[in-house]
Amino acid sequence: MTYRRAAIPALVGGVLITLLLWWAGASAHALQLQGATRALGIESVQELRRWLAPWAYDQSVLIAPGDGAGVSGTPDYSDLRRTGMQIRFVALFLFYVGGALLLLRRMPPSHGRTPGTLLALWAWGPVAGTLAAGVSTPWLIASGGQGSYRFLPQLAAGIESSGPVAVLVALLVAGLTVLVGRAVAKDAGTPPRSAVPVRAARLGATLGTAWIAVSLLILSYDGVAARIHTAFSGTGRLSEPGDLLRQWLILGGWTAPAGKAFDDWLLYRLVDVLVLVAVWWALRLLPGLLTRVTLPAMAVGGVCATVLALLTGQILRIPLDDTLGVWGPTHFLSGLGQHVPAALTFGATAGTLAYVILRLAGERTAEAPQPVAAV
């Protein structure tokens, strides 16, 4: 699919995800209605308030009545917040369109690629939301009136804030984008799925998965994560970088088994293994889904594969959570969309490793002597 054709569904997806998340933030006013707490429960209302906070222009609607909002004498930085939110939505549109354009160009929804394109676009939604949050968070920090206080921890919290709303909206947007993409690609003459050396694809997927495992199994261990958190102190506005380092380097979190909870611990570790299996499978199939194996496509595909594997693990953990009666039904989905920054770091590197292996395999095949036909 040419860039001109791919731009149509990419722009449609960018407009849809921007409008839907803007609407989600604007609907936060409904949580202020008197019957909201009675109908949903106070825990669910608080959780929904946390979900909608990153996408709401008006910060006052996200504060529960009686929390001390609007104290007289407090400086008003609402203009800064509005500027930050405008930057956030513009950045969301640009990041989503950029990633979707590359994915649709190299993985058009035709010739058996439609499920892969759908999943890749779904995974790219939370990535675009995280990048947009990272770009705009400094303005939101300044709008709180304490921009110089613990800037890096506040930045880390803002980057991680896109949350479950971005995941759920991205799934709907991915489906609609694929429908538009299929209509555009119908007469485009897109090439069929390319043949990929099996050994090279498996080796690239294995090395990429091993790199993901470094974060998921080694860096995510409680003791190692604590060392990363405290390894650097920093000075001034760059003090306390531990939260930011953990955010971009750690894909999970686990500790050694303790007491009688060994069965539960084993189930959670089994989920981690399934996450790695999902990463390997996605990286193994990725080169064959592309019309042409390029470094940008493999890097973005590696990010999408890692995010998809993380979402798979987060969904598999839902039945293991027994807090429905305590925190309400919305708590089940609160873990969706976590660890996306680390997926960006390690997923892009894993995709790059797989690309290098495929490139080396292609060069060796090209340099191999060809058999001479007998006369």
Q: What is the pLDDT of residues 283-330, one digit of tens each?
A: 999 999 999 999 999 999 999 999 999 999 999 988 887 665 566 667
* Predicted pLDDT at 71: 44
The predicted structure's pLDDT at residue 31: 80
- In the chain, the percentage of residues whose pLDDT exceeds 70 is 84
Q: Write down the pLDDT at residue 37.
A: 77
- Report the pLDDT value the prediction gives residue 192, as an integer from 0 to 100: 67
Residue 114 pLDDT:
93
pLDDT at 334: 83
How far is 13 from 7, CA to CA, in rounded Å? Answer: 10
pLDDT of residue 323: 63
Q: Which residues contact 254 (CB under 8 A, 6 or more apart)?
A: 220, 221, 222, 268, 269, 272
Instruction: Report the pLDDT value the prediction gives residue 61, as an integer from 0 to 100.
Output: 60
pLDDT at 370: 46
Q: How far is CA 333 from CA 51, 164, 294, 323, 328, in A?
A: 10, 7, 35, 12, 10
Q: What is the 3-state secondary structure (H, E, C) of 84-124?
A: HHHHHHHHHHHHHHHHHHHHHHHCCCCCCCHHHHHHHHHHH
* Regions in the chain scoring below 50 on pLDDT: 66-74, 370-375
Kindly list the domain boundaries of the chain, sorted by start residue.
1-64+76-192, 195-366
pLDDT (0 to 100) of residue 328: 64
Quote the pLDDT of residue 29. 80
